[in-house]
Each structure stands twice: as structure tokens, then as C-alpha cells.
Structure 1
Amino acid sequence: MRRCPTASTVDGPQREDQPPAPARTVAPARYAGRVVDVTGERVPARKVFGLAVPALGVLAAEPLYVLVDTAVVGHLGALPLAGLALGGVVLSQISTQLTFLSYGTTSRTARLHGAGRREEAVSEGVQATWLALAVGLVLVVAGQLLAHPIARALSGSDEIAGAAVSWLRIALFGAPLILVTMAGNGWMRGVQDAVRPLRYVLLGNGISAVLCPVLVYAAGWGLAGSAVANVVAQVISAGLFLRALVAEKAPLRPRLSVMRAQLTLGRDLVLRSLAFQACFISAAAVAARTSTAAVGAHQIVLQLWTFLSLVLDSVAIAAQSLIGAALGAESRSRAQGVAGQITAYGLIFGCALCALFAALSQVLPHAFTSDPAVLAEVPHAWWFFVVLQPIAGVVFALDGVLLGAGDAAFLRTATLASAAIGFLPLIWVSLALGWGLTGIWTGLSLFMVLRLAAVVFRWRSGHWAVTGAVRG
């Protein structure tokens, strides 16, 4: 894939295989007494969406597979379905907490790719894969030992815990492979190859979706058949990523210094992820203590929020790749231009989603429930969800920009501060004062507004745009 053109010898050398640098209009902003160019060079929209659309497919593949798995197991009865739900929540925490294997790897790989050092870029993928295997093996061992006490603590029921453990102890063998797939997505996005990861993930999940009912029903394995099908999906996808890595012919030996650097970036992303988990677990707990109808309505609106986050995150993933490559190529101007471009796309998409779900407010909730009490509670969260879409579009876009720049420490601090100042105090006050869903979603709104202020200020300051193949 052809790289975006650089501006000049100031921002980076002009390569022979690139077209002349496009003219740009400078719209400087003044911060802290200095002028920062926040316009810079743009890239063709097709380049952004050529990365974003396949990324959306990868992001959506797992939730779609979970829906199929749930539908298959659901016909076995309430207990197996409860076991699958609980086991799936535990397993999903692996990918939730270890996203640095994809996002962090994309950032580091993209810089090296932008600097024209492909072998070193792929080597980041090699080291991330070694790290994935090491962490994954630890999770397998720890998971086998802790599966029952964790399931028992979460469920409060020996029956449900037993079903969850029977599924989880099999599915955990796929943990190293889940992490390998995350690392594979990371380095491939970094070298701006977004199509092959989509094929690999769809192939694994597609075969598993066909295999799941065969093992559950025809083979008579029941809930265990679902877990085996899950592992098969991970084996196929991870195997394809490993084959692609070997085909690059980069050195395969482990390099502890690189892995340590990846873990440093990972630490910040894990802390940021924990802040999200604390917020959303608290929200669910407060909703559950409000009323049965409130928790049902919260679940409906939250799942829609999560789904739309995938759409907006796909643009952020494109930003990670493009920003990292621009900074690696020493083109601060292009990085600034792409950042502004991605932010504009995020705002446009957010506004479009806001208008769409405002129009669907009287129709869509009925697709999820016919319970009058739940439907009566939905508007208390719905309009917050609708109004937040443009804010979320900008926040997610700039998250991608800053992640692509390797500015994870700032994102960590901004997220932790927004959670501690905005979301968590307000959500527990809402429980004490009986504000219900209105209080919960007011807390989420404040959380998002504080994050918006933080990432916009950081973007406009230009401090994130540190050039070079490796962020110093």
C-alpha cells in the first residue's frame, strides 16, 4: 500500500514512489504563547476508510459469534445459558484488560513502518506474540486454579458456578490464542494491512459458528461443545496470524528489551481499561439496586452504546495506524492534518448517529422488550445516550489519535481523573439520593465531557506529536 505523501524535507524526505506533497492551508491556533498548526496535510478519505471498514468487521465479528453461541446454548435450558453468560464474562475480561497487545503494538509498529523500517515493524509483532503466549499460558494455569472460586463469587449459586466452570476450564485453553490474535491485529494494522486480519478472524469465527451446533447437539457435548467450538475459532485465527508472521521472515527470537517497552505502554492502557471497568460495573450495580425495570432499561441502552462504540472505534483504529506512520516518517504536519481529519469524521458520524437514534426513540426500544415497566424507564437513559453521540465521536477519534502517537500515559491519567472526578462520585450519590437511571447517565455524561475537554486540549496543544521511529 502506498504511503501518504510527506510535506517537505522539514517534515520528512520525499520518497521517489510518492506523489508530490499536496498544498495545505494553515490555520494556526495559539496555546501557551506558541503557535501550533492543527490543520496540516490530509490523506484521501478512501485511505482512512480502507483501514476503518475492515477494522469494524474485526470488532463486530466476536459479538456476532457470541450471539450465535448464545442462541445455540439457549436451547439447552436456563442453567447452561447462565453458565455460558457467566463464563463468557470472565473470559472477555482477558481481551478487555489486555488490549495493549493490539493497540500498543499498532502504535509502535506504525512508527517503524512510517520510517520505512518494515522488518523492525514486523519484529514488534514478533515480540508482542511472544508476550501474548507467555501471558496467555499464565492465564491458563491461573484460570484453572481460580475458575471455581471466581464463578462462585460472581454467581452466588453453586449450580450456575458449576455450569460456568465446566465451560470456562475448556475455553481458557484458547486464552493464549486470543492474545496472539490481538497481537496479530496490532502489527498488521501498524503496517496498514487491515484486510487480512478481517479474513483471519471471520474464517475462525465462521467455522466455529458452524461447528458449535454440531458439537452441542449432534455430538451431544452440550455446554462443553460450545467451549470446544470457541477454542477451535481461536486456533484457526491465531494459526493464520502466526503463519503470516513467519512468512515475513523477520527474526523470531525473543527480545526482552522490546517486550519490556511494550509492557510499559501496556501498563498505562491496562490502568485506563480498569477505570472503564470500574465505571461500568458501578453503573450496573447502581441500576440493579434501583429496580428490576431500571436494570433492564440500562442494559438495553448500554448494549446500544457498546455497539455504536464499535462503529466509532473503527475510525479510531485507522487513526492509530495513520498517525503512527506519519510521526515515524518525521511528518508532524501530516500527523496534525490526519488528527484534524479523523476528528471531523468522528464528529460527523456522531451527529448522524444522534439524529438516527433520536428518530428511533419511539420504535427501537420495543424491539428489545415488551415489558411496560422497562419501556417506561428507557427514556431516562435514552436521551443521554442520544445527545452523547457527537461527544463520543470526537472522544473516540482523538483517543485513536493519541494512541497512535503512543501518548498512552496522558490517556491513562485523563481517564482515571475523569472517572474519579466525574463518573464514580455522581453515580454513588445517585444511589443514595434515589436518582435512578437519570443519575447513572448524568454520571456517564460528565465522564465523557471531562474526557472530551482533556483530549481536545491535548490535541490542540500539539504536545502529543512527537516524531521519530520510536517515541522517546
Structure 2
Amino acid sequence: MLLFRGRVRSIHQNRNSQRKYAINMCSGRIMPKMLLFAIPVMLTSILQLLFNAADIIVVGRFAGDNSLAAVGSNSSLIGLMTNLFVGLSIGTNVLVSRYFGSKDGEGISKAVSTSILVAVVSGVFLTLLGVIFARKILILMKTPPEVLGLATLYLVIYFFGMTPMMIYNFGSAVLRASGDTRRPLVYLSIAGMINVVLNLFFVIYLHLDVAGVAIATVISQCVSAALVLRCLSREEGPMRLTLSKARIDLESLAKIMRIGVPAGLQGVLFSFSNVVIQSSINSFGAIVMAGSSASDNIEMFVYFSMEAFYQATISFTSQNMGAGKIDRVYKVLKTGVICSVVAGVVFGVIVVTFSHQLLGIYTSSEAVIAVGEERIRIIILTYALCGLMEVMGGVMRGIGYSVLPTAVTLLGVCVFRVIWVTGLLSIPAFHSVITVYLSYPASWALTFGAHLACFLWVKKHVLSKYRRAAA
């Protein structure tokens, strides 16, 4: 009897804990709930950036400019090779959110099990891909000879952490679907502190250079993945993951891929255009590479302050679509746009104001800092356009239209940037790194306008039918 009461008490405590972390996205005021959702996502993304920032800062300070360029210049390539599978986690978020909105427990359970197994398969595939093709791709990106060896070593070791990285991303997507954005933040905070300590130890005391920061990153990714798996395995109800019983449900997999593959392709296209741009930047030499890499790392802090509201609009839109509350979808879009623009402007002004000091964290070279400041002034002051573009795409994905924003991004970001860079750089008057940087705001403005037109079409031809059906 005492044992039974103890088990009942434990179950009630677990359910109360789950309710404490969950957010009801289908009723009440949207703004405070969106902030409650988005701020932990923002901090989580910033901590993920700190993984890379810690790598770049440590090698920049203790290993030299070539090591800094080797680590920093890999970010666009890593994004290119991982974004397709990270995009699948967006499919997980949309599907589980939709099941939460419609209160489909069986659907949630199947989606959770399928998502974690997909994460494992994706991670193993990426590891093989990265290890086999790392050097060849870096050569195609015109990586300078003095940087190539270090960049290859960093990339190969980094890709051994792909499986835990995928597990953390998919597990976090499951938790975000219920509104739980705080526990992923806690888990990443623990992993982040481990990463920083190991970075310093491996580079300063063991003199492992870029290999040290890569090993530290892999270890920290394993920690964050283990904590997410532990969390899901201790949940009660449909979100509980039992690894011994985990199976891939083909129907859930198909739904995840329908949303996730286009979202992932968008990420790949983004990264492909960035690889083209990085190749152009590489042609201007190691100093420009290092300054651009440091600036890019700082810019990402502003980007993720806006991207958190993209994540929020996906979950809020998906749950309200599942609950049949179409009118709240419009309010979600309005709130997401306001929050994203405010975040982009506020954090952008801070970065521009303190750009010299921030770049000085990464390197003591005045030449590198000057290059970084030049890039920051062009990109950060127009970054709000990127936030607008992301939120519009997020709402359409939450509605269930993922192919449309991907097609728009293909034309507005990837194709446009490639044409811009390859075309203008061939003209002597425009052959400068400034021309490369200007491709960013130009593509954001174009893509946002196209996303807006697509949403108005979806509103007229799709959401109006949902509204009539719900009525």
C-alpha cells in the first residue's frame, strides 16, 4: 500500500513538473506567453553560439590568426552539411505541437519515438559525410594553404559529435512543442560550462590547438544529448521516451519529412549561399577571413535574438492550427513580427556601438578588428529585415506550408546571392569585400517581400477555408 501511494505521488509530481514547464498557447494573451517561450530559446541559441565563440576566442588568443581563421571559416560549411537534418527537427516541432493542440496522445508518443531514432540515423550519416569529404570541400572553398590543414583537422573531429548534436536538437524540438523551453536551456548551460573549461584546458595546458577546441565541443554535445534523453525517459504520459521500445512510425516520419525536409532545404540553401560568400571572402586573404569570421560570430548573437521568435511562431501557430483557432494565428504573426524587429534593432545598436570592444575579445590584431567592424556596420544595421523574413516563413510552416517558403528562399536568398556575388565581383569597380557584404541585406529585403505576398495568398485561399470549417 505504501509502495502504491509512493508511486502515485511520484506520478503526480512528474505531471505537475510537466505542467510547470508547459505553456498553453491556445488561449490568453499571446505577447507574455511568447516572451516566456522565446527568451529561453534565445538564451539557448546564444549558449550554442558560445560553444563556437569559446572555440574562436581561445584559438584566437592562444593559437594565432591562422587557427582563428581555420575554426571560424568552418561555420558556413558545418551549416551546409547539418541544416537539412536540423530542419527535420522543425518538422518534429510542428507535428508534436499540432498533436498537443488537438490533444492526440498516441500521435505525440509515436512522433517522439520516431524523432529520436531519426536523430541517431542523421547523426551517424553526417559523421561519415564529414570525415570522408572534409578536406575536399575545404579545397573547393578556396581555403588558403596555410589554413587548410588546421581547418580539416577541426572539421573532422567536430563531425564526430554529430549524433549527440542531432539528439539534442530533436529532443529540444519535442520539449518546445509543449512550450517547455527552459529545461533545454538548463541542459545546454551545463554543457556550455564544460565546453569552456575544456577549451582552456586542452589549448592552454595541453597545446592541442584547433584539435583541443573540437574535442571539447564534442564532449559538451554528448553531455547535452544525455541530459535531454534523461529528461524524455523520465516524462509521464505520451511524451515519455522508452528507448527499448522506440520504433520509427512511418506515418509520423512522413509528416515530419513533409514539413522538415523543405525547412531543412531552406537551411541548406542559406548555407550554400553562405559557402559561396565565404569562398569569395577567402579570396581576399587570411586577415579578411579572420575579421569576417569574428564579425560573423558576433552577428549570430543578434540573429538568434530574432530567430527565437521564429521558433515561437512555429509552435504557437501549429498548436492553434491543431486546436482550430485560426484567428489567433494572425495575432501570433503580428506579435512575432513586433518582437523580432524590436530584438533586432535593440541588440543591433548595442553591437554596432561596442563593435571594437567585442571584436577585441576574439583577437588583438587591429587589422582583423578593422575588417570586422566594416562588416558589422553593413550587416547589423539592416538585420531586422532578416527577422521579418524568418517570422513570415515560420508562420507558414506552422500552418503546414513548408514548400512555399523554401521555394521563395531558394530564389530570394540562394540564387540571388550567388548571382550578386559572382556577377558584381567580376566587375573591377565592384571587386571588394564590401560588395560581398551588401548581398545580405539586399537578399533579406527581397525574400521578406516575397514571403509577405505568399502569406497573403495562404490567408485568402487556405486559412479562410480552415476558419469556415472550424465555425
TM-score (norm 2): 0.78
User: SS where residue 56 of structure 1 aligns?
Assistant: helix
User: SS where residue 330 of structure 1 aligns?
Assistant: coil
| Residue-by-residue CA offset, 1:177-222 (whole Å, 9 max, x unaligned) | 1111110111111111100111111112222322333344556766
Q: Is the 8 A contact 1:86 1:155 kept in 2?
A: no
- Matching residue of 1:279: 273
- Matching residue of 2:441: 445
- Matching residue of 1:459: 455
- Matching residue of 2:3: none
Distance 2:365 2:147 in 1: 27
Cα distance, 1:361 vs structure 2: 8.1
1:310 aligns with 2:304: yes
Q: Is the 8 A contact 1:294 1:374 kept in 2?
A: no
Distance 1:293 1:165 in 2: 19
Q: Is the 8 A contact 1:350 1:390 kept in 2?
A: yes
Q: Percent identity over the alignment?
A: 19
Change in Cα spacing, 1:449 to 1:319, as seen in structure 2 (3 Å) is same
Equivalent runs, 1:46-445 vs 2, <5 Å? 46-74=32-60, 75-76=62-63, 84-85=71-72, 90-151=77-138, 153-154=140-141, 160-218=147-205, 223-248=210-235, 249=240, 252-289=246-283, 302-353=296-347, 371=366, 375=370, 384-385=378-379, 387-419=381-413, 422-433=416-427, 434-435=429-430, 436-445=432-441
Change in Cα spacing, 1:160 to 1:370, as seen in structure 2 (3 Å) is closer
Point out the structure with the larger helix share: 2
Q: Which runs of 5 or more residues in structure 1 are unaligned?
A: 7-21, 23-42
User: SS where residue 247 of structure 2 aligns?
Assistant: coil
TM-score (norm 1): 0.78
Distance 1:303 1:327 in 2: 36
Q: Which runs of 5 or more residues in structure 2 are unaligned?
A: 1-21
Q: Is the 8 A contact 1:293 1:374 kept in 2?
A: no
Matched residue pairs, number? 432
Change in Cα spacing, 1:122 to 1:455, as seen in structure 2 (3 Å) is farther
Q: Is the 8 A contact 1:155 1:161 kept in 2?
A: no
Equivalent runs, 1:34-45 vs 2, <5 Å? 43-45=29-31
- Matching residue of 1:27: none
Match of 1:3 among 24, 29, 47: 24
- What is the identity, as a one-letter code, of the residue corresponding to 1:282? V
- Matching residue of 1:11: none
Change in Cα spacing, 1:290 to 1:232, as seen in structure 2 (3 Å) is closer
Cα distance, 1:51 vs structure 2: 0.8
Distance 2:368 2:75 in 1: 28
Q: Is the 8 A contact 1:105 1:262 kept in 2?
A: yes
Q: Is the 8 A contact 2:294 2:372 kept in 1?
A: no
Distance 2:354 2:206 in 1: 43
**TM-align CA RMSD:** 3.6
